[in-house]
Amino acid sequence: MQVNETLNEGLKRGYAITVTAAELDAKVNEKLVEAQPEVEMKGFRKGKVPMALLKKQFGQRVMGEAMQESIDGAMNDHFEKSGDRPAMQPEVKMTNEDWKEGDDVEVTMTYEALPEIPELDMAKIKLEKLVVKADDAAVDEALANLAETAQDFKARKKGSKAKDGDQVVMDFVGKVDGEAFEGGSAEDYPLVLGSNSFIPGFEEQLVGVKAGEEKAVTVSFPDDYQAEHLKGKEATFDCTIKDVKEPVAAEVDDELAKKFGAEDLAGLKAQIAERLEAEYAGASRAVMKRGLLDQLDSMVDFDLPPTLVETEAGQIAHQLWHDENPEVEGHDHPEIETNDEHTKLATRRVRLGLLLAELGQKAEVQVTDAEMTQAIMNQARQYPGQERQFFEFVQQNQQMQQQLRAPLFEDKVIDHIADNAEVSEKEISKDDLQKAVEALEDE
Distance from chain centroid for Cα 243: 48
Give the C-alpha separation, 371 to 349, whole Å: 24
- The pLDDT value recorded for residue 47 is 67
104 and 21 Cβ atoms separated by less than 8 Å: yes
Are 375 and 262 found together in one domain? yes
Question: Do residues 380 and 390 touch, judged by C-beta distance below 8 A?
Answer: yes
| 274 and 226 housed in the same domain | no
Q: Which of 198, 214, 248 is the last residue of a domain?
A: 248
What is the rounded CA–CA span in Å between residue 202 and residue 237?
9
Instruction: Say what the pLDDT of residue 98 is.
Output: 84
Question: Does 141 reside within a domain?
Answer: no
* In a domain? residue 71: yes
CB atoms within 10 A of CB 168: 24
CATH number at residue 206: 3.10.50.40
3-state secondary structure 252-279: CCHHHHHHCCCCCHHHHHHHHHHHHHHH
CB atoms near residue 211 (< 10 Å): 20
> Are 211 and 286 members of one domain?
no
Contact between 128 and 288 under an 8 Å Cβ cutoff? The reply is: yes
Residue 54: inside a domain:
yes
Residues 233 and 372 in one domain: no
The verdict on residue 253 lying in a domain is no
Do both 223 and 296 map to the same domain? no
Q: Is 357 in the same domain as 321?
A: yes
Under-70 pLDDT residues of the chain: 43, 47, 57, 59, 442-443
Residues 277 and 399 in one domain: yes
Could you say which of 230, 248, 266 is where a domain stops? 248
User: What range does the domain containing 395 cover?
Assistant: 122-136+258-442
- 30-73 pLDDT tens trace: 777 777 777 777 767 776 777 777 777 676 777 888 888 888 98
In terms of C-beta distances under 8 Å and separation of at least 24 residues, what long-range contacts does 87-90 make, across chains too?
87/11, 87/111, 87/112, 87/113, 87/114, 87/305, 87/307, 87/308, 88/112, 88/305, 88/307, 88/308, 88/311
**How many domains in the chain?**
3
Query: Are 291 and 267 contained in the same domain?
Result: yes
| CATH code of the domain containing 303 | 1.10.3120.10
For residue 117, report the phi and psi dihedrals to the nearest 5 degrees. Answer: -90, 125
Residue 334 and residue 280 share a domain: yes
d(CA 224, CA 228): 8
Helix axes 398-420, 387-395, angle to 10 degrees: 80
> Could you give the angle at the alpha carbon of 423 between the alpha carbons of 419 and 428, nearest 5°?
130
pTM over 0.75: no
pLDDT tens digit string along 147-167? 877 878 899 999 999 999 999
- Of the residues 248, 269, 304, the one at which a domain ends: 248
* 52 domain residue, yes or no: yes
Question: Do both 213 and 231 map to the same domain?
Answer: yes
pLDDT score for 435: 93
Q: Is residue 117 part of a domain?
A: no
Q: Do 50 and 26 fall into the same domain?
A: yes
Same domain, 132 and 268: yes
Residue 51, domain CATH: 3.30.70.1050
Residue 144 lies in a domain: no
Residue 432, in any domain of the structure:
yes
